[in-house]
Amino acid sequence: MIESIGMKLLYFDYCALVILIALLFTTILRGLTKGRLNSCFINLIALSIVSTFADIASVALDGIPTVPLALRYCANTLYLVSHNMATPLYVIYLMILTDTDYRLKKLNYVLFVTPFLVIGTVAVINFFTGWLFYFDENFSYTRGPIFPILYASAFIYVIAILYLTFRYGMSLGWRTLIAISSLIPFMLSAVLLQFFNQSLLVEMFANAMSLFLCAALINRPEDILDTETGLSNKRACTQGLTRCMKNGKPLELILINITNYSFIESIVGYKGMVRILHRISSRITNANRANKYFSELYYVGNGQFCLEMDFRKFDKTTYIAHFINDILIPPIDYNNMELNLNAVTCVARCPEDIDDAESLLAFLNDLGRTFYTGQVLFASEIYSGNHYNLVRQIDAIIENALNNKAFEVYYQPIYSIREDRFNSAEALIRLHDETFGNISPEFFIPAAEKSGAIHRIGSYVLEEVCSFIKSPEFEALNVDYIEVNISAAQCMRHDLYKEILGIMRKHGVDHHRINLEITETATVFSQESLTDNMRKLESRGIGFSLDDFGTGYSNMDRVANMNFDIIKLDKSFVNVQRNIRRDIVLDNTVNMIKSLGMKIVVEGVETAEILQRFADLKCDYIQGFFFSQPLPKEEFITYIFAHNKAR
Ligand code: C2E
Ligand code: CA
Ligand code: CA
């Protein structure tokens, strides 16, 4: 064993070698091989192995006088060059990490590689000049006159490392920041130690330890890899995009959304879906490879991919988007099935089209709702920044509106055909925002359901309606009851009935004055608590309407077995082009509902013709723009007063 030759201690180098080899293996075995950051990291480890090995070899050869001089020169030169290359490579690693590598173009690039090129040249001519090092008459290694330029070159790169760490470190998260900033004191002390005590070879050990820290703290696969596809995951994508946008790095992206993902998964199951996702991702990566383009592919989840191009050339990106779009068209063969992927591809430029990561991912998700045409889409044409600003702010807007009582309740008259009067009305909530104008309940109700604000909204609407019912104006209107919407999320609260009864009691409202509207979807997804709440409220005389009947989940058996007083035919069911078969379905649906003893409200009636058709079918009530839009309370009072009186 060579341990100390010419007083040089090799223990640290041996340790470094063991650590580095272990690091190389574990990095590969953990699957951290894809993407620019991982490749750069592997190169760093490999380079460190080479220089540690060269360090050991040159010291070892130093002690054997019979070794030819050329071989010694080679070992020492290899060590110096490879060791010196590690610093610029580390700078590149940091640049990739901070997404600033795009700045390394032309002039910057020349500046960047110059110090290293100088070292390389000096190292080569050193064979003849001995400027860096030479072997004296006793064959022992001696530093040459310009040896310090090695330090000078390293110093330039250290400045770059310091700059990147301080300028962008904060955007990387504390774990990464610790890893990269601990590196500087680490390496610096090793270099100083070795400078003053040349027998203590600790530089390679310090280098190995820094790489170990990076591996442990930065390249954590559990953080950045999707376990199923092995691709970078949503978290990596969000962090990467956020960083780019913060650091001003312009991007070109191809967004891919498999719009029928849930459908395919429902057929092939979870495991089958994983296999299909593998095939999709290899189709995409092969497309890239075929075009000799390098880029980062993220799997965001739910059949959504984001491909970050390594360049900014709109034509090229568009070309690749078409290429990928085309290769995703042929069906995937799976267990003798031919599965068509309805993959929507969309080209997006950041920051021109989309300038924040959160909106970008929301947009990618919403692509799932676009109608699949097989065409490549462009964010510049379909992305509305205003909409996604609203998406991001909606929770705060709702909270604000609740606190400042900015919601309003409108009423839409419902006309009874038999009695020829407006016998009821539907309470519909309205939200006006200073920045965004009128915000549709179709948009903010689902958001409120997600955030939980729906419970407060529900109580607010019921309070408003109850106080209206108890007002003297209402008494004079000859309106029997008000329909109040209850959302699916509200139905999932087991004590909803208490809340409703409590509010009605507080205002002293008769139970038959309120009819609660529940959508078909709610009846499917919240059965237990819903039926329980319904039973308790019904037993106290509160009526129920089934809202949006005919919009998808209709299951006549379930509907028949729930105690609805009224079925509301959805407007999409009402406003369709008539044909013989549709007429048969509609006639029979109406008859069936009537035979079950339930009344029918026809929603969305906009013309006299449609009104006549449903009157002929002996439907009970009509709601729609034909009579009136939803109206603010005062206007509603005026409208009903005039009409109910006049008849
Ligand atoms: P919905 O319960 O089906 O309400 C009927 C919707 O149809 C209303 O939209 C109404 O303005 C609209 N409408 C009425 N007549 C016509 C017509 O002739 N033609 C057309 N095209 N549309 C008509 P709005 O007010 O925008 O409400 C949308 C949805 O938001 C409601 O659908 C309901 O699901 C929800 N929503 C509204 N207010 C509340 C509320 O207070 N609580 C809850 N949980 N949901 C609410
Ligand atoms: Ca409704
Ligand atoms: Ca409805």
Atom of ligand 1 nearest to the CA of 623: 15
Average pLDDT of the residues in 456-485: 96
Containing H/E element for 287?
A: helix 261-290
pLDDT at 63 over 80: no
pLDDT bucket at 317, cuts 50 / 70 / 90: very high
Helices 441-451 and 385-403, packing angle to 10 deg: 70
pLDDT bucket at 552, cuts 50 / 70 / 90: low
Kindly write down the DSSP assignment for every residue of 490-558, as one continuous string.
Answer: HHT-TTHHHHHHHHHHHHT--GGGEEEEEEHHHHHH-HHHHHHHHHHHHTTT-EEEEEEETSS---HHH
pLDDT at 6 over 60: no
- CA-to-CA distance for 506 and 459, rounded, in angstroms? 12
Q: State the pLDDT at residue 576.
A: 80
- CA-to-CA distance for 384 and 333, rounded, in angstroms? 37
Q: State the pLDDT at residue 7.
A: 66
pLDDT at 1 over 50: no
Atom of ligand 1 nearest to the CA of 484: 41
Computed over every residue of the chain, the mean pLDDT equals 90
Q: State the pLDDT at residue 473.
A: 93
**Domains, the chain:** 4-221 (1.20.1070.10), 225-383 (3.30.70.270), 390-646 (3.20.20.450)
What is the Å distance from ligand 3's center to 299 Cα? 37
Q: Which residues line ligand 1 (CB under 6 A)?
A: 412, 427-429, 440-442, 445, 461, 485, 487, 547-548, 571, 603-606, 623-625, 630
Q: State the pLDDT at residue 407.
A: 96
Helix (H, G, I), strand (E, B) or coil at 359: helix
pLDDT in tens, 172-186: 778 888 888 887 888
564 CB-contact burial (10 Å; exposed 0-12 / middle 13-18 / buried 19+):
buried
- CA-to-CA distance for 339 and 432, rounded, in angstroms? 45
Of the ranges 215-224, 559-568, 578-587, 615-624, which is most confident? 615-624
pLDDT bucket at 110, cuts 50 / 70 / 90: confident
- The larger pLDDT score, comparing residue 222 to residue 170, is at 170
pLDDT at 4 over 50: no
What is the Å distance from ligand 1's center to 603 Cα? 9
pLDDT at 460 over 50: yes
Average pLDDT of the residues in 90-96: 90
Both tokens assigned to 283 = 């189709």
Q: State the pLDDT at residue 526.
A: 65
Q: What is the pTM (predicted TM-score) of this model?
A: 0.74
Report which protein residue has its CA nearest ligand 1's atom 25: 428
pLDDT in tens, 136-193: 877 778 889 999 998 898 888 889 899 988 888 887 778 888 888 887 888 889 888 8
pLDDT bucket at 485, cuts 50 / 70 / 90: very high
What is the Å distance from ligand 3's center to 545 Cα? 10
Helix (H, G, I), strand (E, B) or coil at 229: coil
Q: Which of 408, 428, 544 to mutate to test the pocket of ligand 1 (most atoms within 8 A of CB)?
A: 428
Question: Comparing C-alpha atoms, which of 236, 228, 226 is closest to residue 176?
Answer: 236
Helices 203-217 and 11-29, packing angle to 10 deg: 20
Q: What type of residue is 171? A: S
pLDDT at 637 over 90: yes
Residues with Cβ–ion distance below 5 A, ligand 3: 547-548, 603
pLDDT at 5 over 50: no
pLDDT at 344 over 60: yes
pLDDT in tens, 373-396: 999 999 999 999 889 999 989 999
Average pLDDT of the residues in 300-326: 92
- The larger pLDDT score, comparing residue 175 to residue 273, is at 273
Q: State the pLDDT at residue 221.
A: 67
Q: Which of 408, 485, 622 to mutate to test the pocket of ligand 1 (most atoms within 8 A of CB)?
A: 485
Q: State the pLDDT at residue 2.
A: 41
Average pLDDT of the residues in 333-338: 91
